[in-house]
Every structure is written in C-alpha cells, then in structure tokens.
Structure 1
Amino acid sequence: MTSPSVVPVTLAEIARLAGVGRAAVSNWRRRHSTFPTRIGGTDVSPYFSLADVEKWLRDNRKLGKVASREWLWPRFDALGDRDKSGRAIALAGRLLAGGEDSGIGLDGVGSDAVRAAVELGRREDRSGVFTFLLQRWLDRYVRQIAITPEPLADLMADLALWVCELAADDADKGIVTVLDPACGTGHLLASAATAVPAALNRPAALVGCDIDPVLFALCEVRLTLLPRSGSMSPKPVITPGDSLRSDPLIGAQADLVLCNPPSNERDWGYEHLAADIRWVHGTPPRTEPELAWVQHCLARLRPGGGAVLLLPPAVAARKAGRRLRGSLLRTGALRAVVALPPGTAAPHSLSLHVWVLRRPAVGETPTGPGELLLVDAAARFPRSEAREDGPEWSELRAFVRSVVGVTDDGAAEGAKNGRGGDADAATWAATVPIIDLLDDEVDLTPGRHITASPGDAGARVTDSWSEVGALLEGLQAEKACLTALDFTSGTADQPNTTVGELLRAGALTLRSGRHQSEAVVSEPPHDRIPLLSLSDLLLDGSPSGWAHPDDAVVVEAGDVVVVGIAREFSAWVHEGPPIAVGPQIHALRADPHVLDRWFLAGSLKAPANARHAGTHASSSSRIDVRRLQVRRLTLAEQQRYSEAFRHLAAFERLADRLGTVARKLGQDLGDELAAGRLAYGE
C-alpha cells in the first residue's frame, strides 16, 4: 500500500517530466535494473514514486531541460480530489501574493506541494507559477468546471464596452466597476482588467461572487496576482455566496457586468424569490433560470451601464420566457443577440448566444432605439470550419467588432450609429425593428431573422455548382477505374486469417483508444494534438477535443483506424497529421514487408466482416477487432487489390462530399425560388 506522503507518477508523467517520449521511459525501465520499482498500479499501468524517479533521473543524467514547474503538478494532483487540490493551489497563490496561510488543513503531500510552489514562485515568476498550476487543474477537471475561454471573454468585454455609456466625471474618480456575479475562476474579470484600461484609459475595479468556495478562492488569488494598470487600480473584491438566493453584493452598482451563468438549473430559488424586487420584467418561470440571471445583472447596473451574458440558444426561443423577452425588448434593455459558432465554449455542440443589455442612462428614453441588433456568427463561421482546431478567434472577434462598430482603439461608434461597415454585415447581421419581434413567439434566434442578400446567395450558388461539377468529374474518373473490376474471375475459396493471428505473428500491432478525462481540454495548447472520439464520428467525423500525446493512443500517417462499434463500423488508412483516439477506436500498424495497409483497411471494412466479428446484440454492439478477417495473399497480390481499395475509398469520399454540397445547394436554391429571386422556364 502506498504511503500517504509518497507522490505517485505514471510512465506518461515521467516522460513529460524528463522531456522525452513515453517509449523512451519504457526503454529505460526495461534496460536499467536500477530503474525505480513500481509502488502501485498494474504491470500495464504502473505507478512510481516521484522522489525515486527524480533521484534516478538525476543520477543517470536524464533529467533534461524541462521547466521546473512541470515537477510541481504531480504533487498537487496526488491530493486526488478536486476541492483539496484546488484549495492547495489557492493557498500557494495566496502566499505568493503576500497573504497569510488561511489555515486550510493539508496533509504532508499537500503541505509539501504548497511549499514547493511558493519556493519556486519566489525564485521565478509568482503569477506565472500560479497560472501554470491553475491551468493544469482546469485541464484535469475540465468535465467538472465550466470556464469561459479567454478569446470569448475578450469578445464579451468588447461588447460590454460597446453598449455602455460611462460618464466622464462620475463619482468614483474615473474608476470603472466591473462585476461578475458567477465569476468561477475569473476568466471574464481578468479580460475586463485588460480591456477597460486599454479602451478607456481608466482603471477597473473588479468585483465578483461565486457559490463554489474553491472557485471563489482561486479567482480571488488570480485577480490579486494580475499586474495593476496603475496606482489607482483598487484591489479586487471577490465574495463567496449565491448571487440569486442571497446576494452578498446586494446594493452593488457596476458600470459593466459580465457573466457566464450556470444554465439549466431547476433549483435556482424560484419558490423563495417570487416577489424579488429584481424581477422588473416579470417573475422568471421555474424553467427559465437564465432569465433570472439576466434580470439580476440588469439590477446591478448603474444607469448607462452595459451587461453581457453567455446563454444557451434555447433561452431565445423557449415558450415559457416569451413574456420576459418581450418586456426586455419593449424597454430597450436588450440591445443585441450574437449567435456564436459551435465549439466556442462548453457545451461545445451548441451555438451559444451572447446577449448584450443596457440600463437606460439618466434622462434617456426607456424604450431604447426601437430595434434589436441580431448577428449570426454561427452561420458566418459554420461548424465545418470551426471543428478542426476550434473557431478562428481572430476572424470571429474582428467580424463581431466590425458589425457593432468597435474600432481598434476601443471606440464604440456602433453604440450610437448601429452596425459597422464590414462587408459581411449585410449578410450575417441585421437590425430588426422591435415591433417585428413582438409576435406570439418573441423568438430572438438570429438565424431566424437574417436572410442572405441575393448577391451573396448567387455567389454561393455559383461556387456550389462549380464544386458539384468537379465532384461529378471525380466520380466519373473513379467510376472508370472501378468498372475494370471483373465479377467473373475472382477466387472465393482463398483461405482467411484474423487480426488476432496476425498480431501473434508480429505482422500487426494493435492499440485501442481510451478515455482522456485528464487530457481533454476545450482550447488547444501548444503541446496537445486533436482527439477523435466516437461522438465526433457520430456527428461529423471531425476531432472536437485535445489530448497530450504522451497520455493518449496516437494514430500516425499510414496507420489503419478501425471503429469498433456496429452502427459506425468502418476502417480507413489515416493520411493526415497525428491524432489521438478515444474508446472504441483502434489503431493498427502493419509491417509493410508483410501487409499492404490499403489492402488491410479495405478487407477489414467489409460489412460481412462486421457481421462476423460483432455481438449482434444491438446497433451499439461492439466489434471484436481481433476476429476481423483478412484473406491470406502474398504481398504482390495484396498490392493489386490495394489499388482497387484506394479507388473505392476515393469514390466513397467524393460521394459523401457530393451529398453534402448538393444538400446545401438545394437549400440555397429553395430559398431563392421561394423568395421569387429566381425565374424558371421563361
């Protein structure tokens, strides 16, 4: 049994600490009898003592030039608990910021971890060490903690500055107060700390609140360690508490409010808050907690202040919230709705909406401008473009800033003059009169009110027709190759072998993808590679996650990928850059002197093979990859079949792409015909 004071590390972690690949560590373990003995785990997934590993690496001069921060994380991760490790990181940050030990009870491992972090931070960069630990912690518990990606937080800060109107000589001597009532680890407030001084040349007072005590503690330390924009910058004020049920910041008034509130929470306090004074636009229904957050943010604004919230798309259209949405429109509180492309933030499969609100300034007409700005960035940057490595944030941010009229120096001409001059604005954005939205549904989904201009549709149709022609030519070429297949001279009685037999003979290696709960992240750090999961294959086949290559099963160019589930069973030769694969996805690497990889992939992919190797229990049943069959042929014979399998794979790819383009072309033509912009038979 492992001692509580021992920090365990895996082979992948040792590789990262030594700055080498995992294969090198396995080689050291095999070749050197002095390599540390495992202290836990199994022979396949062993654990070693961090102290023993560090000593062995030093003694054998294999420590490498890895940043010393890398040695900190295993100590915190060894605490084995989200809250405990988070509190330890917060304590380390508080001590680095010059604070005192708050008395958090930590065992020997936790105390050693905090001590090591503080010592390193004082030698190097205090803020950098804390930021490193915080990011590793967020990566480790990415499925449990919802964050606002930094580029999205910057965009939300831009929109808040666009919509607000700050008095030049307010009572706070030029200080701009920024509030986040559900601050989490402080991503939005950190962005505002940079955006406000840059745009207004005024310091920002950061105020936040969060119900989770660990997130509150981390946010407080993070903002304290931020560089001050000037001597007048006040210290951040972060308070623990439930902003909806019992707001600890009651009475607070902010110039800007930024919020990514928890969504789909049914137990948000509906029974206890029925007569709350914040519900100026009506009591939010039990099923509309997001509209409770919207009104809370408006209640915390000063006159002329602006609020920006990140909300699920259903909030714009749910029947239960139509009365409140109508009131927000009639009073001019809601100024813009921006539909973001999928993948911008969790949940990554949804096109989240950004709502931009404003409280009328003193003496301003409470009905607002009488129109709502709708921006369909989801259509401007479709999912197919966003999924490869996340949305192109620089283009997305530039597009939204141009639509609302924010210039590079932070000026917000669009606040008074409407949309900016971006060429895409006429296609993907519209200012819709409020009266046109106040119907039985009050649906504020941008895509339902924005119609592409005739000129833009014509260009898209022209491009689609050109691509359809090119795809048809490609299909004709592949058809010519495949028609050479002879259905009369084949030999059906050739013996078969199985993947299992090929593995035992050494002609193949098999690696099966696994869960990456520690490695999946929402943003692509420099040391991560794309992660392909089964859900990605069910959706559109593009990787949606990221994984560290040392912790994952990596598919290289030339490997054969097999999906081991009946409803998505397939096999193909991977031809792109390295990717990691998740559960039920397998990687086969063939000995090129024995097996042709295209012949192998084509043989494995045969539907009869899936019927032979499947369990037949349901469409979600698993395929036993080792039972998949391959004909016994010489390498020369395999290569003849390989050419046919190549053409067949190309034929299928072209046919799939043609189906996608043809459907989109049909939709565009249908829209144009229905609108009367196309004539036929004249």
Structure 2
Amino acid sequence: MSQPNAIPVTLAEIARIAGVGRAAASNWRRRHDTFPAPIGGTDVSPQFSLTEVEAWLRDQGKLRDIGEKERLWPQFDALGDRAETGRAIAVTALKQQHHDVVLESEPELSLSHSAEHLVDRAIALAEREGPREVFEFLLGRWLDTHVRQISSTPEPLAQLMAEIAERVRTGTESSGPRTVLDPACGSGGLLRAAADVCVGGSDGMDPVLLAGAEKDPVLAALAAARLSLTSLEDTASRPWTVDVRTADSLREDSHPDLRVDLVLCNPPFNERDWGYEELATDPRWVYGLPPRTEPELAWVEHAVSKLRPGGVAVLLLPPAAASRKAGRRIRGALLRAGVLRAVIALPSGCAPPHSVALQLWVLQADRPGQRTDVGHSVHLIDAGDAAKNADGLDWIALRSGVFAAIGVKDHALRQDSPGDFALWQIRSVTVPTIDLLDDEVDLTPARHVPAGSSGSFVELRESWSRFSTLLAEVQQSAGSLSSIGLSAKEDGQPGITTIGELARAGALVVYAGQLPAEGSVRTGAVSKAGVPFLAVSDLLMGGEPGGWIPEQEVAAAALRTTERNDVIVSGVTRAFFAWVEDRAATVLGPQLYALRVDPAKLDPWFLAGCLRAPANGRQAGTHTSSSARVDVRKLQVLQVPIAEQRRYGEVFRQVVRFEQTVQELGDLGAVLVRELSNNLSAGRLSQS
C-alpha cells in the first residue's frame, strides 16, 4: 500500500542497514510473516517503508547504526528519474565547491522542489561529515544503481593511466604547468585521478587546468561537480580551473583551441554512428581518415591532435583496435610518425566489459627537433597473466611491471618486495618500428613477446621450491592414507539411505540452483558488491566460478546463496562432483544443488565423501539423454552414527587434500616443463 511520506528502501538497502548479505534480506521477507509489506516498486524489486523496516529490525535485534548518509541515499533514489537524481547529486557539490577551484563553465541544472529539499539536507550533512565524503558516497551509489547504463573507469586503473601519462611525459621528475583533457570524461574518474597525480608530483604553484567533455549532460555536470571538490590540503593556495563541457568530442571538438600536456580517455567502444560521413574532411585525421568500423582509432587521432609537443595520451581500447585489418593503415602511420610509444595488454576484468582483456595505448606528440622516421621502437607489454592476490588483481605488481617495461621508475614499489617482484608474470619486448610495418601491422603484444620471457628467474626458483614442498606433502599424505585399514568383509556393513530420505527426516535441506535473469551475470574479477556465480560449465573448465552477479540483483531476484559447510552437488553425469563449500556465499546455477545439513545429525565431510564416489553418480543417473542428469535425491549415503560419520569425514577430508595436492603438483610440473622448454629454446642455458 502506498505511503506518500514514507522513505522507500529496496531489499538491497535493507541488507545494508542490517549489515548482511542481500540474499539474507530476501530470506527474511519469505520466512517472517511480520516483515513489513511493500509500499511500492514492482514484484521483482519491491520497496518498503524505511521507518517500518527499522522498527522490524529493532524488534528482531538486527538493527545497527547505519549513519546519516545511508538514510539520505534512499531519498535521492526515490526521486525515481536517473537524470533528476544525478542532477541533484551534482548540485550538492557545486554549491560547496572549493574556494581555490574555478569552474570555467558551470552547468545550469534545474531541479524539482523535492530534489532541492534533498540537496539542502545533503549540504547540511556535508557540513558535519565533509563535502567530498558525502558527494562521493552519493555518486558511488548512483553509479552502482545504474551500472548497466553507465560504465566508469575503476579507480586503480584510472590512477595507473594517469601515472603512466605523467611519468612518460616527464620521466621521474615532475615540474611545470599541468593541463589535462578527457574528451569522453563520463563522471570524471580519469580527471580525478589526474588531479591526484598533479598534486602529488608537482613543484611550485603552477596552475592546473582539468578539461573534459561528455555528451551526457548529467554525467558532465557530475564530472564538473566532482572536480570542484578536489582536495588540495597540501597545496591549498594553488589555482585550479575546471572546464567540463557537454559535447560529443568527435562530432564537435569541445575545446578547439586547447592543447594539453596529458590526455586520458576511456572512449565508448564499437560505436558505428560516430560521425564518419560528416567528418570525412576533418583536419584532425593527420594519420588518415578512420574507417567507419574503427571509431576507436578516431578517438586516438583526436587525442593526439590535442597534445602539445611532448604531451602524452593514454587511452583504454579494446584489443581489436590493435589488429583489425581496417585500421592497419592508420596504425602504420602512427608508427612511422613515432607517435605510438607502447601498447599494454591488461588482464581481463580490469574494467567494463570485464570479459575482455583491454589494452592501454600510450602515445606521445613529437618534441621540437625529434626525429619522426622508422628508427623508433615500441614497447609491447603483455600483462594478461598479471599476479593476483587475496583481493583480486595485484595492482602494485602490475604498475611496477609496466613502469619497468617502459623504462620509468616506480617510486611506489613496496619495500618488502623482491627485486623483480614487479615483473611477475608480465612479459614485454621492445620492437623496432620497422619490424611492425608488415602487411598486418598487428600491435597485439602477445603476437610479439618471445615465449621464453614469460617468467622471471626468481619466479622459476620459487616454482621449484613449491614443487618440492608439494612433493613432500604428497609423500606424507600417501603414507598416511596407505596405512588406513580397509575391511574385505561384506557382512556387518552399514546400511544405505538416500538424500531424499535424509531430507524427509530433517537431517538436511536440498536447495536447487536457479537460472539468473538474462544479462545479470557479469564476467571478470568479482566486484566488492558482487556474489560469485557458479555454473555446470565452470566445473568442466576447472571448478571456479566464471561469473558474478551484483548483490543488489541477487536480492531483487531472490536468488539463494550458499553458506559455509553446505555440501554442493552437481546434477550432471559428465560433471558429477560433490564438495564442502568454503566460500561465504555463491549463487548456484541450474543443475547444481546445495545440501544444508543439521550438524547434530550429519557431518558435511562425511556426506560429501559418500556422494562424490563416481559409482554413486552413475547409479543415480537418469540416462534419458546424451547428457545424463543425476537425480540428487537418489544419491546414496551410509547409515552410521554421528561419531562414526566424523571419523569417516576426517578420512574423506584427507582424501580430498591428497587429491588437491596431486592435482596442484601435476599443474605445477607442467608449468615447469613449459618454462624450462621456453628458456632452453631461447638459448638461455648457462655456459658454466
């Protein structure tokens, strides 16, 4: 029932308020009759009264102090219209801009009465908690809410692009004025990163100009607002100018007379309607008219046209831009002019689209007196297998390896790292321009990096050390397991039950995996606000989740997630397997099942051990098609007391550990064979 004065919140917001996963909020709604009734929204994404939700959470002992920002965002979101909410967030910052920041062209933003009221509340909160903190919070929530319509450059990648541009332009020293342009600036992430680089690495009080263009007027306003709050604690009196304009930079150069030190750009990909016909005689096409199918090369030429002598441009591009036949003439012209300095292949998942391994192109305008013939060289860097850590991609390793490959020093290399830590799994080669000017002009790094340079010698030594450790573990496990006594008698064997019978007895609950909505599963590195998604196809490809779903969509679609110590079973014969889940939460796809046991009646390791026997899957298979399915409820389990289950479970755990160690040993052995073969074939056998 609609309540005009109520503050609406979604299930995702309720989960944030309670500090739980978003699937938990969906479960509360299903399981508790007292849960507040929806006051609006849709069946897929219902909305609830914040006041009623807080009262219910308080009664259930689940309410926590969420802070005023969390209370403020649902009211902005309730404005409903994406543009209206974005304009209101922008005005929140523009009314509080830093006194040393000059807005060259302040956007005109009209707001409704309710939006103006929210802006006043946000400004009052900003006076207590800080203007930038409140603005960045609201902007982050807005971008998360509209992630399907708006893609932004992740902060670590934006920082890397800004640092590459600045280091290539000046080497290891920073001095002189700073003028930066992003001709497709979105919400201003790249310009914000450039501001950090300019402040952190500059001497003196030289002025800074941050210029941008964006065809979406709401995004342009948000970018201007974001930069107007640039924090200058360490150089508080330094003059700054922000000039963000609403324009399509290819069709209409937003800053026609401006030449800059740095250009940073994450342009739109695969836009066929970029202005090919009307721009055929544009003077920016110094290196040739970009073909209709090569809009990314149009952005490259535009970026180079905006550079001062010695200026540097760094663009994030799809890998096809380096190899498509239609673009080879322009790539060749860039090489002959000595403009292209480096092509860096990034790991997949660095930025949307996460399934694609994007590339950074580094270009530099000629300095006066610089030669522009084919005597130049180009750095080709393949970081597709860059090191991972517990949080995903190791950005410190990536940046250090990239800086080493392009010949500039990385002052941020962590002190506890070994000397060649940054080269971990980053391959690079410097290729003379003349060697790239063949019929294809293919600049894909992987096509040129020698196979023998794939790993550092420290990495190879560490691999041998790990191999020896695994070998010792295998020997130890084999000794332990080989001593286990197995009875040859069939008399007195335990009875057999099935999953279906155990479920009816209340010893476990069977949860079936679900098919997510089309387009909801993302690929690449899992976002901090994402839940891994596991499908049967992932089991066939190695066993790790191949995608993820934003938590907000998991909650909205009421997708069930696994819990620790659930027993996961595949219901397909060709990928039949069972294991004890150790991840906090995963969304299961179709034909996968989670068995949630009562620990007083069933030991999860015992259950998984019984189920994972190949013979068990064959017996429970339906055999009705070429891809036979397993009827999970027919899978058989021994009937033994809980104490005996735990004894079996411990042995099953040892068997699993033995299996994993043997597999890792085999995989690492294959890596060592490959690396030794590559290095020997490259002539690296020591003479001593």
TM norm structure 2: 0.80
What amino acid does structure 1 have at the position aligned with 2:185?
C
Contact 2:304 2:313 in 1 (8 A): yes
The change in CA–CA distance for 1:46 and 1:296 in structure 2 (over 3 A counts) is closer
Q: Which residue of the partner structure matches residue 670 of structure 1?
A: 677
The change in CA–CA distance for 1:404 and 1:461 in structure 2 (over 3 A counts) is closer
Correspondence list, 1:202-221, <5 A = 202-221=206-225
Q: Which residue of the partner structure matches residue 417 of structure 1?
A: none
The change in CA–CA distance for 1:101 and 1:442 in structure 2 (over 3 A counts) is closer
Q: Which residue of the partner structure matches residue 560 of structure 1?
A: 567
Correspondence list, 1:1-40, <5 A = 1-3=1-3, 6-10=6-10, 13-18=13-18, 36-39=36-39
Contact 1:563 1:586 in 2 (8 A): yes
The change in CA–CA distance for 1:401 and 1:461 in structure 2 (over 3 A counts) is closer
1:164 aligns with 2:169: yes
Contact 1:555 1:581 in 2 (8 A): yes
1:275 aligns with 2:276: no
Post-superposition offset of 1:307:
0.4
The change in CA–CA distance for 1:30 and 1:441 in structure 2 (over 3 A counts) is closer
Deviates more, 1:293-302 or 1:401-410: 401-410
Q: Distance in 1 between matches of 2:464 and 2:96?
A: 62
What amino acid does structure 1 have at the position aligned with 2:50?
L
Post-superposition offset of 1:199:
2.1
Post-superposition offset of 1:321:
2.2
Contact 1:614 1:623 in 2 (8 A): yes
**How many pairs does the alignment contain?**
653
Correspondence list, 1:273-672, <5 A = 273-367=279-373, 370-379=376-385, 381-382=386-387, 385=388, 388-407=390-409, 428-451=427-450, 463-464=462-463, 467-468=466-467, 471=470, 474-475=473-474, 481=481, 489=489, 494-499=495-500, 501-510=501-510, 531-534=532-535, 541-542=543-544, 555-563=562-570, 568-575=575-582, 578-581=584-587, 583-584=589-590, 586-606=593-613, 612=620, 629-639=636-646, 641-672=648-679
Contact 1:498 1:630 in 2 (8 A): yes
Q: Distance in 1 between matches of 2:223 and 2:562?
A: 38
Deviates more, 1:227-236 or 1:339-348: 227-236
Q: Which residue of the partner structure matches residue 146 of structure 1?
A: 151
Give SS of 2:288's match. Answer: coil
Q: Distance in 1 between matches of 2:444 and 2:14?
A: 49
Q: Distance in 2 between matches of 1:226 and 1:140?
A: 24
Post-superposition offset of 1:331:
0.7
Q: Which residue of the partner structure matches residue 66 of structure 1?
A: 66
Q: Distance in 2 between matches of 1:114 and 1:582?
A: 41
What amino acid does structure 1 have at the position aligned with 2:341?
R
What amino acid does structure 1 have at the position aligned with 2:137?
F
What amino acid does structure 1 have at the position aligned with 2:357?
S
Tell me the alpha carbon deviations over residues 581-600 of structure 1, each in whole angstroms, 9 at most, x when there is no partner: 35446543312221121122
Post-superposition offset of 1:164:
2.6
Contact 1:371 1:433 in 2 (8 A): yes
Q: Distance in 2 between matches of 1:211 and 1:567?
A: 50
The change in CA–CA distance for 1:303 and 1:226 in structure 2 (over 3 A counts) is same
Contact 2:375 2:432 in 1 (8 A): no
The change in CA–CA distance for 1:654 and 1:407 in structure 2 (over 3 A counts) is closer
What amino acid does structure 1 have at the position aligned with 2:162?
A
Question: Is there any run of 5+ residues in structure 1 with no aligned partner, and where?
Answer: 411-420
Q: Distance in 2 between matches of 1:368 and 1:198?
A: 36
The change in CA–CA distance for 1:89 and 1:65 in structure 2 (over 3 A counts) is same
Contact 1:342 1:378 in 2 (8 A): yes
What amino acid does structure 2 have at the position aligned with 1:440?
D
Contact 2:573 2:621 in 1 (8 A): no
What amino acid does structure 1 have at the position aligned with 2:39?
I
- Which of 115, 133, 142 in structure 2 is aligned with 1:137? 142
Contact 1:140 1:518 in 2 (8 A): no
Deviates more, 1:8-17 or 1:315-324: 8-17
Post-superposition offset of 1:579:
3.8
Tell me the alpha carbon deviations over residues 424-448 of structure 1, each in whole angstroms, 9 at most, x when there is no partner: 6698333222122222332223333
What amino acid does structure 2 have at the position aligned with 1:588?
L
Q: Which residue of the partner structure matches residue 194 of structure 2?
A: 192
Contact 2:397 2:422 in 1 (8 A): no
CA RMSD of aligned residues (A): 4.4
Tell me the alpha carbon deviations over residues 356-409 of structure 1, each in whole angstroms, 9 at most, x when there is no partner: 101112333233861112233334x24xx25x4221222322333344444467
Contact 1:261 1:311 in 2 (8 A): yes
Contact 1:183 1:219 in 2 (8 A): yes
Deviates more, 1:319-328 or 1:510-519: 510-519
The change in CA–CA distance for 1:615 and 1:581 in structure 2 (over 3 A counts) is farther
Contact 1:374 1:430 in 2 (8 A): yes
Post-superposition offset of 1:264:
2.5
Post-superposition offset of 1:256:
0.8
Deviates more, 1:278-287 or 1:47-56: 47-56
Contact 1:149 1:523 in 2 (8 A): no
The change in CA–CA distance for 1:259 and 1:95 in structure 2 (over 3 A counts) is same
Contact 1:370 1:434 in 2 (8 A): yes
Q: Distance in 1 between matches of 2:111 and 2:41?
A: 30
Tell me the alpha carbon deviations over residues 503-554 of structure 1, each in whole angstroms, 9 at most, x when there is no partner: 44332245567769999899888x8586354376565544665866995856
Deviates more, 1:137-146 or 1:482-491: 482-491
Tell me the alpha carbon deviations over residues 222-242 of structure 1, each in whole angstroms, 9 at most, x when there is no partner: 112223555453431111222
Post-superposition offset of 1:291:
1.3
Q: Distance in 1 between matches of 2:544 and 2:188?
A: 31
What amino acid does structure 1 have at the position aligned with 2:671?
K
The change in CA–CA distance for 1:196 and 1:567 in structure 2 (over 3 A counts) is farther
Q: Which residue of the partner structure matches residue 252 of structure 1?
A: 258
Q: Distance in 1 between matches of 2:56 and 2:356?
A: 48
The change in CA–CA distance for 1:555 and 1:273 in structure 2 (over 3 A counts) is same
Q: Distance in 2 between matches of 1:443 and 1:163?
A: 23
Q: Give the share of equivalent positions with the same residue, in percent.
A: 47
Post-superposition offset of 1:32:
11
What amino acid does structure 2 have at the position aligned with 1:649?
V
Q: Which residue of the partner structure matches residue 248 of structure 2?
A: 242
The change in CA–CA distance for 1:608 and 1:306 in structure 2 (over 3 A counts) is same
Q: Distance in 1 between matches of 2:459 and 2:53?
A: 59
Correspondence list, 1:98-137, <5 A = 102-105=109-112, 113-137=118-142
The change in CA–CA distance for 1:460 and 1:55 in structure 2 (over 3 A counts) is closer
The change in CA–CA distance for 1:533 and 1:250 in structure 2 (over 3 A counts) is farther
The change in CA–CA distance for 1:665 and 1:10 in structure 2 (over 3 A counts) is same
Post-superposition offset of 1:647:
4.0
Give SS of 1:177's match. Answer: strand
Q: Distance in 2 between matches of 1:545 and 1:29?
A: 24
Q: Which residue of the partner structure matches residue 416 of structure 2?
A: none
The change in CA–CA distance for 1:31 and 1:642 in structure 2 (over 3 A counts) is closer
Deviates more, 1:650-659 or 1:293-302: 650-659
The change in CA–CA distance for 1:462 and 1:32 in structure 2 (over 3 A counts) is closer
Post-superposition offset of 1:181:
0.8
The change in CA–CA distance for 1:336 and 1:625 in structure 2 (over 3 A counts) is same
Deviates more, 1:124-133 or 1:141-150: 141-150
Question: Is there any run of 5+ residues in structure 2 with no aligned partner, and where?
Answer: 99-105, 413-418
Contact 1:403 1:422 in 2 (8 A): no
What amino acid does structure 2 have at the position aligned with 1:203?
P
